[in-house]
Amino acid sequence: MQGILIFLLILLVMGSVACVMFRSKVKAAISLALISVILSIIMFALGQFWAAIFELSVCAGLVTVVFVCAVSLTRPDRHNQEVEEAYHKKVSGLPVFMVILGIGLMIILTMGNFDFSVTVDAAAQVRTFNDVFWNTRQADIIGQIIIILAGAFAVVILFKEGDKA
């Protein structure tokens, strides 16, 4: 179990490096979707099924569609090849930095004698998601409704044709 999780985490980090390094924006968006898929597998493995389903359908699905649409609606201009090449050259140092950061953190965390043990809340463990979400997070649910409302208005304000000066 632990081995699988660590393998998934390594995949996740590699996915994020790929997302940054890709020349093409469509590929970056797709590797973002890949990150979401791996994240949702991690959620499944840790027993967080509702979150996993949402992550898989909304983040890996909907957000990718939004990004791919945006990329295809904004057709690149003539100099695009050069621009993307320049960008790739700019971020080419990333893998080195990532390796340094990873090793550094590993040294600090193992040498530093940290004890990140947290108290496990036994009473909370048995509570179901439905109970917690619908009963104790009412403020957040109202917030979600308002956010979705705002999203609907966003589409009206940003995409509605015809009344632009």
Partner 1 sequence: MNSLTTAFFIAAAMILFAGCYMLVRSHNMIRLVIAVEVVMKAVTLVLVFAGYSNGNTALSQSFIITIIVAEVVVAVVATGIAIAVYRNNGDLDLRKLNKLNG
Partner 2 sequence: MSASLATLVYAFIGLPLIAIVLLNLPNRKFAEKLCIGTGLFVCIVQMATAVIAVLLLIEFNKASMSFSQFWDMHVADDAAYFSVDFLSAVCLFCIGMVGAVSFAAAGSTVRDKILNYTNMMMVLLLGMNGIALVTDLFSVYVFLEISGIASFLLIALYRDPVGLEGAFKYLVMSAIASAFILLGSGLLFLEFGSLRFVVLEEMLQAGVYNNPPLVWLALFFLVAGFAIKSGNMPFHGWLPDAQTGAPSPVSIMLSGIVEQMSGTYATMRLIDIFLLNKFTVVNIGMMLLALLSIVLGAIAAVGQTDFKRTLAYSSISQIGYIVLGISCGTVLGYVGAVLHFFNHSTFKSTLFANAAAVKNQLHSTHYDDLGGLQKQMPIAAATSVIAGLSTAGLPPFAGFWSKLLIIIAVWQTQGAFVASVALLASIFTLAYFLRIQHKVFFGPEKQRPAVKEPKDGIAIASIALSVVTIGFGILFPVLLLALQTQGVL
Q: Which of residues 125-154 bind partner 2 (CB under 8 A)?
A: 131, 134-140, 142-144, 146-147, 149-151, 153-154
Fill in the DSSP letter of residue 62: I
Q: Which of 39, 21, 34, 40 is nearest to 89 (CA)?
A: 21
Asked whether 23 and 85 are in contact (CB, 8 A), the reply is yes
With CB cut-offs between 5 and 8 Å by kind, which of partner 1, partner 2, none does residue 4 bind?
Answer: none
Cα–Cα dist 128/124, whole Å? 9
Q: Does 58 bind partner 2 (CB under 8 A)?
A: no
Instruction: Give the footprint of partner 1 on residues 58-97 (CB under 8 A).
Output: 58-59, 62-63, 66-67, 69-71, 73-74, 77, 83, 87, 90-91, 94, 97
**9, 41 in Cβ contact below 8 A?**
no
Q: Could you tell me which of 62, 75, 59 has the C-alpha nearest to residue 25?
A: 75
Q: How far is the CB of 20 from partner 1 (least distance, A)?
A: 4
Are 87 and 14 a contacting pair, CB within 8 Å?
A: no
Per the rule left: phi > 0, alpha: psi between -120 and 50, beta: everything else, 128 is: beta
**Contact map string, positions 106 to 125, toward partner 1, x by CB under 8 A:** x--xx--xxxxxxxxxx-xx
| Residue window 18-57: x/- pattern of binding to partner 1, with contact defined by CB under 8 A | -xx----x--xx--x--xx--x--xx--xxxxxx--xx--
What residues make contact with partner 2 under the rule CB under 8 A?
114-119, 121, 124, 131, 134-140, 142-144, 146-147, 149-151, 153-154, 156-158, 163-165
